[in-house]
Amino acid sequence: MNITNLVNIIKDNLLQSKQTISVAESVTAGLLQSVISSGENASLFFQGGITVYNLGQKCRHLSIDPIHGSDCNCVSEKISQDMALNVCKLFISDWGDCYYWLCYTSTRI
């Protein structure tokens, strides 16, 4: 499966269920936002995204616990879950995806 097919599957599922998605990224540095936004009719299902590379920005924009973030160098399932949940709130989307190192979380509000 290529990336275009994957984006089309995401798009079709979201449009069929009348839901939206937003993305929080770190190490991928906006790559996923770029891929998703290049999909046909992306504005109908993609609310936007944020790239937060360091602990300070993760805390400021996505409400990451700074003590936990510092303790684990921001690499944990909890960080990924918090980023996914809070990107939903930030962009008022139904789904929030977070891609960070080996952690991937998809959260629905």
Q: What is the chain's pLDDT, residue by residue, as a tens digit (109 residues)?
A: 788 888 899 899 999 999 999 999 998 899 989 999 998 899 999 999 999 999 999 999 999 999 999 999 988 889 989 999 999 999 999 998 887 645 555 656 6
The CB-side HSE value for 57 (13 A sphere, CA atoms) comes to 8
Strand 103-108 and strand 95-100: the pairing is antiparallel
Look-up of token digits 């290049």: 38
Q: What is the pLDDT of residue 12?
A: 94
Residue ranges of E strands in 1-109: 21-25, 46-51, 95-100, 103-108
User: Which has the closest alpha carbon to 25: 37, 16, 13?
Assistant: 37
pLDDT at 109: 60
Domain annotation for the chain: domains and CATH numbers:
3-108 (3.90.950.20)
User: Which H or E element spans position 48?
Assistant: strand 46-51
Give the integer Cα–Cα distance in Å for 31 and 1. 18
pLDDT of residue 46: 97
Specify the pLDDT at position 6: 85
